[in-house]
Amino acid sequence: MAASTLSEVARLAGVSLATASRVLNGSSRKPAEDIAERVREAADKLGYVPNAQAQALAKSSSGLIGLIVHDIADPYFSAIARGVQEAARQQNRMVLLASTSGAASDEREAVAAFAARRADSIVIAGSRSVRAEDQQGNAELAAELDRYCRNGGHVGVVGHPIVGASASEGYHVVKVPNEELAAGLAAELAASHDGPFLIIAGPEGLYTSDDRVRGFQRGLADAGRTPAEVIRTGFNRAGGYDAGLALAERIKSSEERLCIFAVNDVMAIGVTAALRPEGVWIPRDATIAGFDDIETLRDFRPALSTVHLPLEDIGRLAAGDPDTPPVSGVVKLRRSTETPAESQI
Protein backbone atom coordinates (compact mmCIF):
# COMPACT_ATOMS: atom_id res chain seq x y z
CA MET A 1 0.00 0.00 0.00
CA ALA A 2 2.75 2.45 -0.85
CA ALA A 3 1.19 5.04 -3.08
CA SER A 4 2.88 8.31 -3.83
CA THR A 5 2.59 11.00 -1.22
CA LEU A 6 1.75 14.64 -1.22
CA SER A 7 5.35 15.62 -0.58
CA GLU A 8 6.46 13.70 -3.65
CA VAL A 9 3.95 15.63 -5.67
CA ALA A 10 5.11 18.87 -4.14
CA ARG A 11 8.73 18.09 -4.86
CA LEU A 12 8.01 17.16 -8.47
CA ALA A 13 6.01 20.33 -8.95
CA GLY A 14 8.68 22.35 -7.23
CA VAL A 15 6.38 23.79 -4.63
CA SER A 16 5.90 23.38 -0.92
CA LEU A 17 3.77 20.80 0.80
CA ALA A 18 1.23 23.37 1.86
CA THR A 19 0.73 24.68 -1.62
CA ALA A 20 0.25 21.25 -3.03
CA SER A 21 -2.28 20.53 -0.33
CA ARG A 22 -4.15 23.72 -1.08
CA VAL A 23 -4.35 22.89 -4.73
CA LEU A 24 -5.38 19.28 -4.48
CA ASN A 25 -7.89 19.59 -1.69
CA GLY A 26 -10.60 22.15 -1.20
CA SER A 27 -8.89 24.89 0.71
CA SER A 28 -10.21 28.39 1.08
CA ARG A 29 -6.89 29.85 -0.06
CA LYS A 30 -6.54 29.51 -3.81
CA PRO A 31 -3.02 29.45 -5.21
CA ALA A 32 -2.24 31.01 -8.57
CA GLU A 33 -3.59 29.20 -11.57
CA ASP A 34 -0.25 28.51 -13.24
CA ILE A 35 1.25 26.96 -10.14
CA ALA A 36 -1.95 25.05 -9.50
CA GLU A 37 -1.76 23.58 -12.96
CA ARG A 38 1.77 22.41 -12.35
CA VAL A 39 0.76 20.70 -9.14
CA ARG A 40 -2.18 18.99 -10.78
CA GLU A 41 0.04 17.71 -13.55
CA ALA A 42 2.52 16.34 -11.09
CA ALA A 43 -0.21 14.65 -9.11
CA ASP A 44 -1.62 13.12 -12.24
CA LYS A 45 1.74 11.92 -13.42
CA LEU A 46 2.47 10.22 -10.12
CA GLY A 47 -1.01 8.81 -9.80
CA TYR A 48 -1.39 10.57 -6.51
CA VAL A 49 -4.27 9.40 -4.33
CA PRO A 50 -4.68 11.37 -1.11
CA ASN A 51 -4.43 9.26 2.01
CA ALA A 52 -7.82 9.60 3.63
CA GLN A 53 -6.50 8.11 6.85
CA ALA A 54 -3.93 10.83 7.19
CA GLN A 55 -6.48 13.48 6.26
CA ALA A 56 -8.86 12.13 8.83
CA LEU A 57 -6.11 12.14 11.41
CA ALA A 58 -5.22 15.73 10.67
CA LYS A 59 -8.79 17.00 10.39
CA SER A 60 -10.27 14.63 12.91
CA SER A 61 -13.23 13.77 10.78
CA SER A 62 -13.22 10.52 8.92
CA GLY A 63 -16.05 10.88 6.43
CA LEU A 64 -17.26 7.49 7.56
CA ILE A 65 -20.74 6.46 8.60
CA GLY A 66 -21.20 3.11 10.30
CA LEU A 67 -24.23 0.94 9.67
CA ILE A 68 -25.25 -1.95 11.89
CA VAL A 69 -27.82 -4.46 10.66
CA HIS A 70 -28.79 -7.99 11.61
CA ASP A 71 -28.34 -9.36 8.11
CA ILE A 72 -27.54 -7.37 5.01
CA ALA A 73 -29.25 -9.96 2.81
CA ASP A 74 -32.58 -9.49 4.56
CA PRO A 75 -34.77 -7.31 2.33
CA TYR A 76 -35.87 -5.21 5.29
CA PHE A 77 -32.33 -4.30 6.18
CA SER A 78 -31.03 -4.00 2.67
CA ALA A 79 -33.75 -1.45 1.91
CA ILE A 80 -32.68 0.60 4.90
CA ALA A 81 -29.07 0.15 3.87
CA ARG A 82 -29.90 1.60 0.49
CA GLY A 83 -31.31 4.69 2.15
CA VAL A 84 -28.27 5.08 4.37
CA GLN A 85 -26.04 4.62 1.38
CA GLU A 86 -27.85 7.37 -0.52
CA ALA A 87 -27.64 9.76 2.37
CA ALA A 88 -23.96 8.99 2.74
CA ARG A 89 -23.40 9.70 -0.91
CA GLN A 90 -25.07 13.07 -0.57
CA GLN A 91 -22.94 13.88 2.43
CA ASN A 92 -19.84 12.75 0.60
CA ARG A 93 -19.20 10.01 3.07
CA MET A 94 -18.69 6.28 2.82
CA VAL A 95 -20.64 3.55 4.56
CA LEU A 96 -18.98 1.07 6.88
CA LEU A 97 -21.03 -2.08 7.19
CA ALA A 98 -21.42 -4.49 10.10
CA SER A 99 -23.75 -7.45 10.31
CA THR A 100 -24.39 -8.79 13.77
CA SER A 101 -27.29 -11.27 13.62
CA GLY A 102 -28.81 -9.12 16.32
CA ALA A 103 -26.64 -10.09 19.26
CA ALA A 104 -26.14 -7.10 21.52
CA SER A 105 -22.56 -8.12 22.27
CA ASP A 106 -21.75 -8.14 18.56
CA GLU A 107 -23.37 -4.76 18.22
CA ARG A 108 -21.24 -3.43 21.01
CA GLU A 109 -18.19 -4.72 19.24
CA ALA A 110 -19.29 -3.09 16.01
CA VAL A 111 -19.83 0.24 17.73
CA ALA A 112 -16.37 0.01 19.25
CA ALA A 113 -14.90 -0.75 15.84
CA PHE A 114 -16.71 2.23 14.33
CA ALA A 115 -15.55 4.42 17.16
CA ALA A 116 -12.02 3.20 16.60
CA ARG A 117 -12.31 4.28 12.97
CA ARG A 118 -13.69 7.59 14.19
CA ALA A 119 -16.89 7.24 12.19
CA ASP A 120 -18.74 10.54 12.11
CA SER A 121 -22.00 8.80 12.82
CA ILE A 122 -23.47 5.38 13.45
CA VAL A 123 -26.81 3.98 12.34
CA ILE A 124 -28.29 1.04 14.19
CA ALA A 125 -31.16 -0.84 12.62
CA GLY A 126 -32.89 -3.89 14.02
CA SER A 127 -35.32 -4.41 16.81
CA ARG A 128 -34.38 -3.78 20.42
CA SER A 129 -35.16 -6.24 23.12
CA VAL A 130 -35.79 -5.95 26.85
CA ARG A 131 -35.60 -9.65 27.54
CA ALA A 132 -33.69 -10.61 30.65
CA GLU A 133 -31.04 -12.57 28.79
CA ASP A 134 -30.18 -9.50 26.74
CA GLN A 135 -29.94 -7.23 29.70
CA GLN A 136 -26.20 -7.29 30.18
CA GLY A 137 -25.52 -7.04 26.46
CA ASN A 138 -27.85 -4.09 26.23
CA ALA A 139 -26.15 -2.33 29.11
CA GLU A 140 -22.72 -2.74 27.58
CA LEU A 141 -23.97 -1.60 24.21
CA ALA A 142 -25.56 1.43 25.82
CA ALA A 143 -22.33 2.27 27.61
CA GLU A 144 -20.31 1.97 24.44
CA LEU A 145 -22.73 4.20 22.55
CA ASP A 146 -22.78 6.66 25.37
CA ARG A 147 -19.04 6.97 25.30
CA TYR A 148 -19.11 7.33 21.54
CA CYS A 149 -21.63 10.15 21.80
CA ARG A 150 -19.72 11.90 24.54
CA ASN A 151 -16.74 11.90 22.24
CA GLY A 152 -18.78 13.80 19.71
CA GLY A 153 -20.26 10.95 17.69
CA HIS A 154 -23.76 10.97 16.26
CA VAL A 155 -26.02 7.97 16.60
CA GLY A 156 -29.22 7.24 14.73
CA VAL A 157 -31.34 4.36 15.91
CA VAL A 158 -34.22 2.90 13.96
CA GLY A 159 -37.41 2.32 15.90
CA HIS A 160 -36.57 2.33 19.58
CA PRO A 161 -33.91 3.75 21.82
CA ILE A 162 -31.20 1.36 22.91
CA VAL A 163 -32.31 0.03 26.25
CA GLY A 164 -30.57 1.95 28.98
CA ALA A 165 -28.97 4.54 26.74
CA SER A 166 -29.05 7.99 28.23
CA ALA A 167 -30.44 10.56 25.86
CA SER A 168 -27.13 12.20 25.20
CA GLU A 169 -26.37 14.87 22.69
CA GLY A 170 -26.08 13.55 19.17
CA TYR A 171 -28.26 10.56 19.86
CA HIS A 172 -31.49 10.44 17.94
CA VAL A 173 -34.18 7.89 17.29
CA VAL A 174 -36.09 7.53 14.05
CA LYS A 175 -39.49 6.83 15.43
CA VAL A 176 -41.70 4.38 13.61
CA PRO A 177 -45.38 4.59 14.60
CA ASN A 178 -45.74 0.84 14.87
CA GLU A 179 -48.51 0.89 17.39
CA GLU A 180 -50.71 3.42 15.59
CA LEU A 181 -50.22 1.73 12.26
CA ALA A 182 -51.01 -1.69 13.65
CA ALA A 183 -54.15 -0.23 15.18
CA GLY A 184 -55.08 1.22 11.82
CA LEU A 185 -54.51 -2.11 10.16
CA ALA A 186 -56.73 -3.82 12.72
CA ALA A 187 -59.45 -1.27 12.17
CA GLU A 188 -59.47 -1.76 8.44
CA LEU A 189 -59.39 -5.52 8.73
CA ALA A 190 -62.17 -5.55 11.31
CA ALA A 191 -64.37 -3.66 8.88
CA SER A 192 -64.43 -6.54 6.46
CA HIS A 193 -63.69 -9.59 8.55
CA ASP A 194 -66.26 -11.14 10.84
CA GLY A 195 -64.37 -14.10 12.27
CA PRO A 196 -61.74 -14.29 14.95
CA PHE A 197 -58.26 -12.74 14.75
CA LEU A 198 -54.95 -14.27 15.59
CA ILE A 199 -51.57 -12.63 15.98
CA ILE A 200 -48.29 -14.32 15.20
CA ALA A 201 -45.73 -12.36 17.13
CA GLY A 202 -42.04 -12.43 17.87
CA PRO A 203 -40.63 -13.23 21.29
CA GLU A 204 -41.98 -11.18 24.15
CA GLY A 205 -39.72 -8.26 24.88
CA LEU A 206 -38.96 -7.33 21.31
CA TYR A 207 -40.07 -3.73 21.12
CA THR A 208 -41.18 -3.73 17.52
CA SER A 209 -43.16 -6.90 17.92
CA ASP A 210 -44.72 -5.86 21.19
CA ASP A 211 -45.75 -2.48 19.81
CA ARG A 212 -47.44 -3.99 16.84
CA VAL A 213 -49.25 -6.53 18.96
CA ARG A 214 -50.43 -3.85 21.35
CA GLY A 215 -51.57 -1.60 18.54
CA PHE A 216 -53.40 -4.36 16.77
CA GLN A 217 -55.22 -5.36 19.93
CA ARG A 218 -56.17 -1.78 20.58
CA GLY A 219 -57.51 -1.43 17.06
CA LEU A 220 -59.60 -4.53 17.55
CA ALA A 221 -60.91 -3.27 20.87
CA ASP A 222 -61.82 0.07 19.32
CA ALA A 223 -63.76 -1.80 16.71
CA GLY A 224 -65.61 -3.67 19.42
CA ARG A 225 -63.92 -6.98 18.80
CA THR A 226 -62.57 -9.45 21.28
CA PRO A 227 -58.80 -9.54 21.64
CA ALA A 228 -56.84 -11.76 19.33
CA GLU A 229 -55.04 -14.81 20.52
CA VAL A 230 -51.26 -14.31 20.39
CA ILE A 231 -48.78 -16.96 19.30
CA ARG A 232 -45.11 -16.30 20.05
CA THR A 233 -42.42 -17.52 17.70
CA GLY A 234 -39.24 -16.37 16.02
CA PHE A 235 -39.23 -12.87 14.51
CA ASN A 236 -38.28 -14.20 11.07
CA ARG A 237 -39.42 -16.39 8.21
CA ALA A 238 -38.62 -19.59 10.05
CA GLY A 239 -40.70 -18.47 13.00
CA GLY A 240 -43.63 -17.76 10.72
CA TYR A 241 -43.18 -21.10 9.06
CA ASP A 242 -43.30 -22.97 12.34
CA ALA A 243 -46.39 -21.09 13.40
CA GLY A 244 -48.01 -21.87 10.08
CA LEU A 245 -47.34 -25.58 10.51
CA ALA A 246 -48.80 -25.52 13.98
CA LEU A 247 -51.86 -23.74 12.73
CA ALA A 248 -52.72 -25.76 9.65
CA GLU A 249 -54.82 -28.44 11.28
CA ARG A 250 -56.73 -25.97 13.32
CA ILE A 251 -57.63 -23.89 10.32
CA LYS A 252 -58.72 -26.88 8.33
CA SER A 253 -60.92 -28.28 11.06
CA SER A 254 -62.47 -25.02 12.14
CA GLU A 255 -65.46 -23.53 10.39
CA GLU A 256 -64.63 -19.99 11.30
CA ARG A 257 -62.34 -18.10 8.99
CA LEU A 258 -59.30 -16.87 10.78
CA CYS A 259 -57.65 -13.53 10.09
CA ILE A 260 -53.95 -13.80 10.86
CA PHE A 261 -51.72 -10.84 11.59
CA ALA A 262 -48.04 -11.66 11.38
CA VAL A 263 -46.03 -8.84 12.91
CA ASN A 264 -43.73 -8.58 9.93
CA ASP A 265 -43.75 -9.54 6.28
CA VAL A 266 -41.17 -12.28 6.32
CA MET A 267 -43.10 -14.01 9.10
CA ALA A 268 -46.30 -13.67 7.04
CA ILE A 269 -44.49 -15.19 4.10
CA GLY A 270 -43.31 -18.04 6.29
CA VAL A 271 -46.83 -18.68 7.52
CA THR A 272 -48.18 -18.71 4.00
CA ALA A 273 -45.44 -21.02 2.80
CA ALA A 274 -46.21 -23.47 5.58
CA LEU A 275 -49.94 -23.41 4.94
CA ARG A 276 -49.78 -23.85 1.19
CA PRO A 277 -48.67 -27.51 1.05
CA GLU A 278 -51.19 -28.26 3.77
CA GLY A 279 -53.90 -27.27 1.37
CA VAL A 280 -54.86 -24.14 3.21
CA TRP A 281 -55.50 -21.39 0.69
CA ILE A 282 -55.20 -17.72 1.28
CA PRO A 283 -57.56 -15.90 1.28
CA ARG A 284 -60.14 -18.67 0.82
CA ASP A 285 -59.53 -20.58 4.04
CA ALA A 286 -57.92 -17.85 6.06
CA THR A 287 -56.71 -14.33 5.51
CA ILE A 288 -53.35 -12.91 6.46
CA ALA A 289 -51.59 -9.61 6.78
CA GLY A 290 -47.99 -8.65 7.44
CA PHE A 291 -46.06 -5.48 8.24
CA ASP A 292 -43.24 -3.50 6.56
CA ASP A 293 -44.07 -3.88 2.86
CA ILE A 294 -40.65 -5.16 1.89
CA GLU A 295 -39.78 -5.13 -1.79
CA THR A 296 -40.08 -8.90 -1.98
CA LEU A 297 -43.83 -8.56 -1.63
CA ARG A 298 -44.09 -7.00 -5.04
CA ASP A 299 -44.01 -10.42 -6.65
CA PHE A 300 -45.35 -12.54 -3.84
CA ARG A 301 -48.71 -14.22 -4.38
CA PRO A 302 -51.27 -13.97 -2.96
CA ALA A 303 -50.58 -10.25 -2.80
CA LEU A 304 -49.98 -9.66 0.88
CA SER A 305 -51.85 -7.05 2.87
CA THR A 306 -49.44 -5.13 5.01
CA VAL A 307 -48.45 -1.74 6.36
CA HIS A 308 -46.14 0.12 4.07
CA LEU A 309 -43.07 1.58 5.74
CA PRO A 310 -40.77 3.95 3.82
CA LEU A 311 -37.69 1.88 4.57
CA GLU A 312 -35.31 3.86 2.42
CA ASP A 313 -36.47 7.09 4.02
CA ILE A 314 -35.96 5.51 7.40
CA GLY A 315 -32.40 4.76 6.45
CA ARG A 316 -31.89 8.29 5.19
CA LEU A 317 -33.34 9.78 8.35
CA ALA A 318 -31.23 7.61 10.57
CA ALA A 319 -28.19 8.73 8.59
CA GLY A 320 -29.09 12.30 9.42
CA ASP A 321 -30.48 13.46 6.10
CA PRO A 322 -32.31 16.70 6.89
CA ASP A 323 -34.69 16.91 3.96
CA THR A 324 -36.28 13.51 4.23
CA PRO A 325 -39.87 13.68 5.45
CA PRO A 326 -40.72 12.03 8.79
CA VAL A 327 -41.77 8.41 8.79
CA SER A 328 -45.38 7.76 7.95
CA GLY A 329 -46.77 4.38 7.09
CA VAL A 330 -49.84 3.40 5.09
CA VAL A 331 -52.10 0.41 5.43
CA LYS A 332 -52.16 -1.59 2.20
CA LEU A 333 -55.02 -4.02 1.85
CA ARG A 334 -54.40 -6.54 -0.88
CA ARG A 335 -55.59 -9.90 -2.05
CA SER A 336 -54.51 -11.86 1.01
CA THR A 337 -57.24 -10.28 3.12
CA GLU A 338 -60.03 -10.04 0.62
CA THR A 339 -63.32 -11.57 1.67
CA PRO A 340 -64.27 -14.85 0.00
CA ALA A 341 -66.96 -13.30 -2.19
CA GLU A 342 -64.51 -11.09 -4.02
CA SER A 343 -61.77 -13.64 -4.15
CA GLN A 344 -62.65 -16.16 -6.77
CA ILE A 345 -59.47 -17.82 -7.78
C-beta atoms surrounding 325 within 10 Å: 9
**Per-residue interface string for the shown chain with a copy of itself, residues 265-294, x marking contact by CB under 8 A:** ----x--xx---------------------
Q: Does 330 bind a copy of itself (CB under 8 A)?
A: no
17 binds a copy of itself (CB under 8 A): no
**List 33, 299, 323, 342, residue binding a copy of itself (CB under 8 A):** 299
Please, which of residues 97-126 interact with DNA by CB under 7 A?
A: none
Does 343 bind DNA (CB under 7 A)? Our answer is no
36 HSE (CA, 13 A, CB side): 11
User: Environment class of residue 135 by beta-carbon count within 10 Å: exposed (0-12), middle (13-18) or buried (19+)?
Assistant: middle
CA-to-CA distance for 309 and 157, rounded, in angstroms?
16
Q: 53 or 226: whose CB is closer to a copy of itself?
A: 53
Number of helices and strands (H, E) in the chain? 12, 11
d(CA 123, CA 95): 10
Site membership for a copy of itself, residue 36 (CB under 8 A): no
Select from 51-59, 186-194, 253-261, 298-306 the region that touches DNA (CB under 7 A): 51-59
Q: Pick what 29 binds: a copy of itself, DNA, none; C-beta below 5 to 8 Å, kind-dependent.
A: DNA
The DSSP-derived string for 217-273 is HHHHHHTTPPPPEEEE--SSHHHHHHHHHHHHHHHHH-SSPEEEEESSHHHHHHHHH
CA distance 41 to 13: 8
Contact 297, 268 (CB under 8 A): no
Of 26, 28, 29, 60, the one binding a copy of itself by CB under 8 A: 60
CB of 273 to a copy of itself, least distance (A): 6
From CA 42, how far away is CA 44, in angstroms rounded? 5
Could you tell which of a copy of itself, DNA, none binds residue 103, using a CB distance below 5 to 8 A set by kind?
Answer: none
The answer to the question of residue 231 lying near a copy of itself (CB under 8 A) is no
Among 40, 147, 232, 257, the residue binding a copy of itself under the rule CB under 8 A is 147
Taking the least distance from each CB to DNA, the nearer of 9 and 182 is: 9
54 part of the interface to DNA, by CB under 7 A: yes
Angle 161-158-183 (CA atoms, 0-180°, nearest 5)? 90
Binder of residue 251, out of a copy of itself, DNA, none (CB less than 5 to 8 A by kind)? none
Q: Which stretch binds DNA (CB under 7 A): 24-32, 173-181, 197-205, 317-325?
A: 24-32
Minimum separation from the CB atom of position 53 to a copy of itself (A): 5
Nearer to DNA, 15 or 317 (CB): 15
Alpha carbon 277 to its chain's center: 32
Q: Which is nearer to a copy of itself, 120 or 338 (CB)?
A: 120
E-assigned strand segments in 107-202? 121-124, 154-159, 171-175, 197-201
30's contact among a copy of itself, DNA, none, with CB below 5 to 8 A by partner kind, is DNA
Q: Does 151 bind DNA (CB under 7 A)?
A: no
Here's the x/- map for a copy of itself, 66-95, by CB under 8 A: it reads as: -x---xxx-x--xx-xx--x---x----xx
Q: What is the DSSP letter of 28?
A: S
Q: Which residues contact 90 (CB under 8 A, 6 or more apart)?
A: 321
Cα separation, 246 vs 24, in Å, equals 65
- The contact set with a copy of itself (CB under 8 A) reads 1-3, 47, 49-54, 56-57, 60-62, 67, 71-73, 75, 78-79, 81-82, 85, 89, 94-99, 112-113, 115-118, 120, 147, 151-153, 269, 272-273, 295-296, 298-301
